[in-house]
Structure 1
Amino acid sequence: MPISLDGALGIHQPALEARIKRAEVLANNLANADTPNYKARDIDFGAMMQQAQQNLDGLAMEKTHDRHLDTGAMAADSELLYRVPHQPSVDGNTVDAQQEQSRFMRNAMEYQVSFQFLNGKVTGLKKAISGQ
């Protein structure tokens, strides 16, 4: 019985990709903390994980023709949301640098946890293949 690598790794690989994308968005927010009228953005991580779970379960929409829309790309773009500020600045910027740094560090720690889970899965697969 063949094992699919995607099935064996489960949700951990899409979780890592989502954490990487969120790190990029949060870093962009931090870089623009002093830019007038810049609006802080974030990713709906839960929605991304639901989409990934549907893809793993085989419930995702399939693109059967070249002219069909790519629903995966649309879902990824729709998960990038604007953040509602606690206290917007006078210049219209909605980035709170301390909160962004906190979110960035938490995301980095959660990335490490996801990476450790994925590493454990790969190590287990290697042991199973080699018979150790």
Structure 2
Amino acid sequence: MLNRLTNSLDFHGQALSLRSERQRLIASNIANADTPGYVARDMNFSQALKEATGMQASAGLAATRPGHIATAGGARAEANLEYAVASQTNLDRNTVDMDRERANFADNSVRFEATLRFINSNVRTMIDAIKGQ
């Protein structure tokens, strides 16, 4: 039982950390919306979560240097960063689409909050079980 709880909390902790990293990327994109030549970045969240939680073997890929696949305990999945494709051509070659970034920001915020609430619920349930209520 304890092992299952620990695994669940670890999984959701990794998800929370990755959501935070994705929010940082999206915020960086928004901040650079007017920077000429800036290429928006995003992460493949599901792939990053699989790698961070060890749910998928690295498919024969080996880290060639520390932090190549992930850093900070698997939280920053640099290998899963992708470049955004421009939705329309710009003279300054900036690929930030503010509508897309706002939608991604809102979606990621809602998912971050849901993960946080799930963790809080699990902890409360365990505390209630320990207290015997």
- TM category (shorter chain) comes to 0.7 to 0.9
Q: How does 1:1-132 map to 2 (within 5 A)?
A: 3=3, 6-54=6-54, 69-70=66-67, 71-73=69-71, 76-132=77-133
Provide closer, same or farther for how the CA distance between residues 72 and 4 of structure 1 changes in structure 2, counting only shifts above 3 A. farther
Contact 2:19 2:108 in 1 (8 A): yes
Pairs aligned (count): 123
Structure 2 counterpart of 1:25, which letter?
L
Q: More relative contact order in 1 or in 2 (CA 8 Å, sep 6+)? A: 1
Q: Secondary structure at the match of 2:77?
A: helix
What is the CA-CA distance between 1:89 and the residue it aligns to?
1.2
Q: TM-score, normalised by structure 2?
A: 0.79
Long gaps (5+) in structure 2: 59-64
Q: Secondary structure at the match of 2:54?
A: helix
Higher helix content, 1 or 2: 1
Q: Deviations over 1:52-75 (max 9, x none)?
A: 3326x9x68xxxxxxx84553397
Provide closer, same or farther for how the CA distance between residues 3 and 94 of structure 1 changes in structure 2, counting only shifts above 3 A. same
What is the CA-CA distance between 1:94 and the residue it aligns to?
0.2
- 2: distance between equivalents of 1:112 and 1:2? 25
Q: Secondary structure at the match of 2:82?
A: strand
Structure 2 counterpart of 1:38, which letter?
Y
What is the CA-CA distance between 1:46 and the residue it aligns to?
0.7
Contact 2:26 2:42 in 1 (8 A): yes
Q: Deviations over 1:83-125 (max 9, x none)?
A: 1121131101000111101110111011111111111111111
- 2: distance between equivalents of 1:17 and 1:25? 13
Long gaps (5+) in structure 1: 61-67
